[in-house]
Structure 1
Amino acid sequence: MTRLLQMMAGARHGGAEAFFERLAPALARAGLAQHLLIRADAERAARLRAAGLEVTELGFGGALDLFTRRRAATIAKTFRPDIALAWMNRAARFLPKGDIVRVGRLGGYYDLKYYRACDHLAGNTPDLCAWIAKQGWPADRVHYLPNFAADPGPSPEPLPRQSFDTPPEAKLIVALGRLHPNKGFDVLLRAVARVEGAVLWLAGEGPLRAELTAQAETLGIASRVRFLGWRDDGPRLLASADLFVCPSRHEPLGNVVIEAWAAARPVIAAASQGPSQLIRDGIDGLLVPVDDDDAMAAGLARLLADPALAATLASAGRAAYDAHFTEAAVVARYIEFFERVKR
């Protein structure tokens, strides 16, 4: 079985970081021997060690960070991996040399100069893989490896609405993500302002927290918007929702769409890169134009007013999840890829 060295130089929160924390234990359950090198983060390290994984925390600093480079090389010599998998541009810079197959895992349209030391690149959407090849990377060394969302099980307990001062009869919209311009939450707030009576739970943190809070006040919907901060109970949040919305301007994949499908929630999304590839409009979700708050408002109102349509979309979304984005399906693809490319 493959021996895998994984290198994650990400932030404390983020879609790639969350998937890394799902994938590493899943690969361990499938029998892969792993050693994880992560940017220093005591909480992440504790979670991964609790899953039985070997973890080393490193700095992953700038060009003068010789310690990380030397330590990664020493661990590689001791652990003797078949494959080293780098997450994020900075991790790719520290890939160890030697008789190791070096793989860069991309979840966005990054500058490929950071991945020159790699033998293979893996993208998490077909469009991203096509883009990598168009940049001149050999097509036979570009591989599609999708993400999976954890199965929440048959019936996660919804969060009590009174926990967030939400009337039990209110139509509840849930959105998740970093409070960043790319995520389009300003568009969502303008849309919610046009949907009378709907309440929005927005889970996430980021640089736009104060600006979005002020926008809700200006739009007169502060009483209908709850800023929840970062949460680690996504399945319960989704179970609480009447519908889930992804308003992103830029979204290479859309982990949150897959998570909402896993929870069998109806989804409406702006037609950015990832969601427009995942969602079949009108079949397993609704797509609206990017940056169009009028269209978003119309879509929200349509789903909230038509429970039968919402249920149909939710059921088809769950079927798409079962077919393509379960842990078993995605882990099998990773293992097949590792076995195929290792020396």
Structure 2
Amino acid sequence: MKVLHVITGLAAGGAEQQLRALLPHLTARCEVAALTNPGGVAEAIRAEGTPVHHLDMRGNLDLRAVGRLVRLMRSGRYDIVHTHLYRACVYGRVAARLARVPAVVATEHSIGESAIEGRRATVGVRALYRATASMGDVTIAVSRAVAERLVRWGVPRSRIEVIPNGVDGAAFRHDPRLGLRARARLGIAPDAFVVGGVGRLEPGKRFDVLLHAVKGFEEAVLLLAGAGSARGTLEDLARVLGVERRVVFAGESMDMPALLSAMDVLASPSQEETFGLAIVEGLAAGLPVLYASCPALDELPSDAVPGARRILPDPDHLRAELRTLAAAGPVRLPPPRAVAHYDIRRHAAQLEALYARVLGPAVPAAADPAGHPAGRPAANSAANSVEQEEHR
């Protein structure tokens, strides 16, 4: 079985790191195509033995990417195209049908109630999503919460499969030496109480709550790992609050285990998550975790995650919780059962079972008079929809 994973970009985000973690555990022969911004994750994927193609897409209106994808898919003779993230799902599904790839799968990583990957979920955005979703065989939801959002967007429940994200727990195991080296590199004192925040620096992640929480907690250092459009706003807020000397912006990192080992607690004030991958990684690192929303934990029995506590996304409430943890002294917890439940190997096995099911017998698809596979929308019609929506 030969699979092409199509993803919008390969910066160090959750979906991108999830793809990187998954690839070594698949028995299928895989390749990756990044529409734009190959980034550090692309280098890591190549170093681990998986070919990466860069489509050099120049913005949302660059419809040449469809042709490039079609040529890649035809020359690669893939059995399955698996798309990740909004733009890749739209363009990748269209290209896969034009290239007559036997099966098309998508994973929905980042759909919210009113936005998708920071893009406002307008009527047009939803319509385009539904149109291209109908060209695929199945959409994978990374949690039951995501599955319900897809249904509300108009994707038929019968075409949705829930396969949770996976984590390689051993890769995130706490290593005190790595933690001390990371602190030294970032200018953090060995005995500081380090509050961690991990994720894209976007308004919806509510990292401003963490800044306000540490304002009244002089013993704390805030370590933010991630990049995004809100970094400048957060830096300005840190200066206004007078905490800029106690806030470290680590940027995108390819070494999250070291940063997690440098933290004493992981805090996630975001009220809308699709899974909560960083939270599960924090638990794998033995960290106490404070979170406002995490479907990955909410969908498990409470005794599966003894190291995690739900919080209000309120600075005063969070500050009180942080003070309690700091007073108890540094602690590392054994990884809870939730980490084993979301093991990356289990995720890979479920995914490959789905691949086999959607691929089925290798029977050529019937074609309609216009030459399109029976039962599928005409791919060039969807391409026209892409162009119309991107012009809105």
TM-score w.r.t. structure 1 length? Answer: 0.86
What's the offset of the Cα at 1:274?
A: 5.7
CA contact under 8 A between 1:279 and 1:286: conserved in structure 2?
A: no
**What amino acid is aligned across from residue 159 of structure 1 in structure 2?**
L
CA contact under 8 A between 1:269 and 1:275: conserved in structure 2?
A: no
Query: d(CA) in 2 for partners of 1:162 and 1:84?
Result: 43
Query: Greater CA deviation, 61-70 or 173-182?
Result: 61-70
Query: d(CA) in 2 for partners of 1:164 and 1:35?
Result: 35
2:289 to 253, 267, 272: 267
Which secondary structure state, in structure 2, belongs to the residue aligned with residue 159 of structure 1? helix
Equivalent positions of 1:123-162 (< 5 A) are 123-150=141-168, 151-152=170-171, 154-156=173-175, 157-160=178-181, 161-162=183-184
Cα gap change, 1:90 to 1:211, in 2 (>3 Å): closer
Equivalent position of 1:103 in the other structure: 105
CA contact under 8 A between 2:10 and 2:42: conserved in structure 1?
A: no
Which ranges in structure 1 are unaligned for 5 or more consecutive residues? none
Greater RCO, 1 or 2 (C-alpha within 8 Å, sep 6+):
2
**What amino acid is aligned across from residue 56 of structure 1 in structure 2?**
H
**What amino acid is aligned across from residue 67 of structure 2 in structure 1?**
R
Query: d(CA) in 1 for partners of 2:102 and 2:221?
Result: 52
CA contact under 8 A between 1:175 and 1:200: conserved in structure 2?
A: yes
Equivalent positions of 1:202-281 (< 5 A) are 202-271=224-293, 276-277=298-299, 280=302
1:198 to 220, 229, 249: 220
Q: Which runs of 4+ in 1 moved over 6 A?
A: none
CA deviations 1:181-200 (Å, max 9, x no partner) are 11111111111123241111
Instruction: Count the aligned residue pairs.
Output: 333
CA contact under 8 A between 1:286 and 1:299: conserved in structure 2?
A: no
Question: Are 2:199 and 1:177 aligned?
Answer: yes
**CA RMSD, 1 decimal:** 2.6
CA deviations 1:103-157 (Å, max 9, x no partner) are 1210122433342321211011111112223444332321112222233265532
Which secondary structure state, in structure 1, belongs to the residue aligned with residue 4 of structure 2? strand
Equivalent position of 1:302 in the other structure: 324
Which secondary structure state, in structure 1, belongs to the residue aligned with residue 224 of structure 2? strand
Question: Are 2:312 and 1:289 aligned?
Answer: yes
**What amino acid is aligned across from residue 289 of structure 1 in structure 2?**
L
**What amino acid is aligned across from residue 36 of structure 1 in structure 2?**
V
Cα gap change, 1:80 to 1:326, in 2 (>3 Å): same
- Percent of pairs identical after alignment? 28
Query: d(CA) in 1 for partners of 2:209 and 2:15?
Result: 24
Equivalent position of 2:65 in the other structure: 68
Which secondary structure state, in structure 2, belongs to the residue aligned with residue 117 of structure 1? coil
Equivalent positions of 1:38-77 (< 5 A) are 38-40=34-36, 41=38, 43-60=40-57, 65-77=62-74
Query: d(CA) in 1 for partners of 2:270 and 2:135?
Result: 32
Which ranges in structure 2 are unaligned for 5 or more consecutive residues? 117-125, 361-392
Cα gap change, 1:336 to 1:65, in 2 (>3 Å): same
CA deviations 1:190-228 (Å, max 9, x no partner) are 111232411111222222223222322222322322222
Equivalent position of 1:86 in the other structure: 83
CA contact under 8 A between 1:172 and 1:199: conserved in structure 2?
A: yes
Query: d(CA) in 1 for partners of 2:61 and 2:212?
Result: 46
Query: d(CA) in 2 for partners of 1:227 and 1:62?
Result: 27
CA deviations 1:156-179 (Å, max 9, x no partner) are 321333433333322121222222
CA contact under 8 A between 1:106 and 1:122: conserved in structure 2?
A: yes
CA contact under 8 A between 1:35 and 1:79: conserved in structure 2?
A: no
What's the offset of the Cα at 1:257?
A: 0.5
Cα gap change, 1:185 to 1:99, in 2 (>3 Å): closer
CA contact under 8 A between 2:10 and 2:39: conserved in structure 1?
A: no
Cα gap change, 1:52 to 1:64, in 2 (>3 Å): same
**What amino acid is aligned across from residue 53 of structure 2 in structure 1?**
T
